[in-house]
Amino acid sequence: MSEKSSFEFQADVKELLNLVTHSLYSNREIFLRELISNASDAIDKIRFEALTKPELLEEKSQEYKISIIPNAEAKTLTITDNGCGMDEQELREHLGTIARSGTKTFLQQLKGTQELSSMDFIGQFGVGFYSAFIVSDRVVVKTRKAQTRGCQWASQGQGNFEIEPTGKFARGTEVILYLKEDALNFLEEFTLRGVVKKYSDFIEHPIALVTKKDGKETEEVLNSRKAIWLKSPSEIEAKEYHEFYKHLSHDFQDPLRVIHYRGEGTLEFKALIYISAHAPLDLYSPEFNSGLQLYINRVFIMEDCKKLIPPYLRFLKGVVDCGDLTLNVSREMIQEDPRLEKIKKNLVRKVLGNLAEWMEQNRKEYEQFYAQFGKVLKEGLHFDSEQRDKIADLLLFETTQTETGQYKSLKQYLEGMKPTQKEIYYLIAENRTKALATPQLEAFKAKEVEVLLMMDPVDQWVMGSLTNYQEKPIKSISHEAIDLHTEEEKKSVEENLKEQGKKYKDLLKAIGEKLEAQVKEVRFSPRLTDSVCCLVAETGTLTPQMEQMLKSLGQAVPVQKKILEINPNHPLLEVLQRLYESDHTSAQFADYVQLLLDQALLTEGAELTNPKGLSKRISDLMVRAATTPGNL
């Protein structure tokens, strides 16, 4: 690069810049937190890389430092660091694009909102640098990566930015903010001290305020540089915990839960873990940055060590510092250290135990957590067989006997079971309205037997891993082999089924023949009280919801014929019997039979293969009814 070059911002960056500059005015001071955090990250990076490549330091000795330099005359505020620096390509990638999928959706959700200050906005897609434009008309970044020449990035935060070579200077980065007229208070020493103390007091590297008085330059270190996780919990105030969390997560809200403890025994470590008050928008994205920060004796190793927590606890934020680990040649090799697995098991036990205490001691607050992260926690039923029972204790469900938004644990469900009930029952449905309307519930309502309502998409596959709880079998009511009758009732039911089976024997056979290609069997059901029919799956087969989910993911789903169960006492049977006796080969009889199956498909939420055919059949039957003498 030999001259100045101009580049267009990525379209998403333009929108983000507009949102940042116009919607975060009430939280303007966070720009300094973000720039200091970036500077600290840059120092951490070069410090780690220099462990195996000391030539990157380019100096015999190295004192890492972040400097804040106000210049009232020029109306500029400069933040410098002697970290890793950037080359031209990195400048373009880091300060001109947002390399994260889902940004467009994120922006659409933010458009029009006036409450960005209460959202996880800045940290959501790694856009902390752009907060500089909250207070600046123009931003200049001078930077040099080790063993390369320096370059400069400049922009007014509009549609483009410029990059050009710059003169020689030490390795690192210098961010120069040309402050807006209404942001000149950030040149005041009192303001700068307050912001650094509030947000960045715990940064490990010294943050120096550089000022000139009487022609002499002075430096004042503003931060205490105490690694908060090394302190005793009794020494830390809630405010200090919260500010460190905001530094880690770039969140505006305080965390919902803090877990701070020391792991002892053959492997010692310190951990400070947080649970956010709200789920990040990209929590379910494959690119979500899960994991905890890993330190070795206060030396930062990596941002998101995925070996420290399982995927079903990816909502955790925090720090783990272990002096027993050995600094190695690469982060990859450190992640393969078997001692990390021991730390992980310790952390999982501690976190799950803490959640259990939380659930017991503050149910309302726990439900707030569960509303945000319950779907993620449930994944552990499938992935962590060792902790499955403890995870099951933490689950909450709406039931047929709770109001909307009220929850029961499995333990509470057991406490409310009838003495004669031997099993735990659940129903998977898209939402509560559809769940309560399903025909399979009718017998349970009649018997006042409580059924768990599972309405999270993840329920469709994780429940296959939870087959019992405290020695009670867990069964889906969408499958066969559910019997709620007492021994005395069974006799009466069996007699009725036998009697109706004789009466409608030929009719059932005819219906089965008509639907032979679509269902496995047609039979009378003891579970229906109001509906005429329903579909049930054989035990061990996929639920309709699971089939739909797999299809939506583009996976091949084997054809699974279901059983069509018919209510033997429904008045429609008499109508079908008359049609059968009149002419079981007629189009009208075939239409009624197909409508029977279509009803069952609709009530279970399955997709009709021929919705147009259903519409035509209904229209034809309406016309016949209206034109038949005596019907109107």
Q: Please give the torsion angle defined by the CA atoms of residues 452, 457, 460 and 461, in that order, rounded to the nearest 10 degrees.
A: -130
The contacts of residue 553 (CB under 8 Å, 6+ apart) are none
Number of H helices, E strands in the chain: 20, 23
Instruction: For 152-204, write each residue's pLDDT tens digit.
Output: 999 998 888 999 998 777 899 999 999 999 999 999 999 999 999 887 887 88
Q: Give me the residue label for tokens 């020449």.
A: 149
**Bridge partners (DSSP) listed for residue 367:** none
Instruction: Name the H helices within 7-147.
Output: 11-23, 30-49, 88-96, 103-110
Contact call for residues 563 and 533 (beta carbons, < 8 A): no
Instruction: For 489-518, write each residue's pLDDT tens digit.
Output: 778 888 888 888 889 999 999 999 999 999
Whole-angstrom distance, CA of residue 351 vs CA of residue 372? 16
Angstrom CA distances, 346 to 34, 175, 260, 434, stand at 32, 42, 13, 41
Backbone angles phi, psi at 9, to 5 degrees: -65, 145
Say how many C-beta atoms besides its own lie within 10 A of residue 165's C-beta: 13
Question: Using 50, 70 and 90 to split pLDDT, how confident is the model at 280?
Answer: confident
Residue 478 confidence (pLDDT): 82
Contact call for residues 68 and 78 (beta carbons, < 8 A): yes
Contacts 24+ apart (CB under 8 A), 435-441: 436/400, 437/603, 438/534, 438/603, 438/604, 439/528, 439/530, 439/531, 439/533, 439/534, 439/600, 439/603, 440/477, 440/478, 440/527, 440/534, 440/536, 441/400, 441/477
Q: Give me the residue label for tokens 């009511």.
A: 477
Least confident range of 72-81, 211-220, 284-293, 620-629: 620-629
Helix (H, G, I), strand (E, B) or coil at 592: helix
Instruction: For 219-228, write each residue's pLDDT tens digit.
Output: 999 998 878 9
**Most distant CA pair in the chain, distance:** 111
Residue 421 DSSP one-character state = -
Whole-angstrom distance, CA of residue 352 vs CA of residue 358? 10
Least confident range of 73-77, 405-409, 536-540: 536-540
pLDDT at residue 413 above 80? yes
Contact call for residues 128 and 122 (beta carbons, < 8 A): yes
Helix (H, G, I), strand (E, B) or coil at 325: coil
Give the rounded distance of the alpha carbon of 440 from its chain centre. 31
Q: Which two tokens stand for residue 22?
A: 């116009």
Q: Give me the residue label for tokens 């768990």.
A: 452
Whole-angstrom distance, CA of residue 545 vs CA of residue 476? 12
Among 570, 598, 604, which residue's Cα sits nearest to residue 478?
A: 604
Whole-angstrom distance, CA of residue 523 vs CA of residue 174? 78
Residue 121 confidence (pLDDT): 44
The contacts of residue 286 (CB under 8 Å, 6+ apart) are none
Instruction: For 336-350, write each residue's pLDDT tens digit.
Output: 788 899 999 999 999
Full-model pTM: 0.70
Among 3, 24, 10, which residue's Cα sits nearest to residue 132?
A: 24
Q: Give me the residue label for tokens 């709406």.
A: 398
Residue 335 half-sphere exposure toward CB, CA atoms < 13 A? 15
Instruction: Residue count of the chain, please give it.
Output: 632
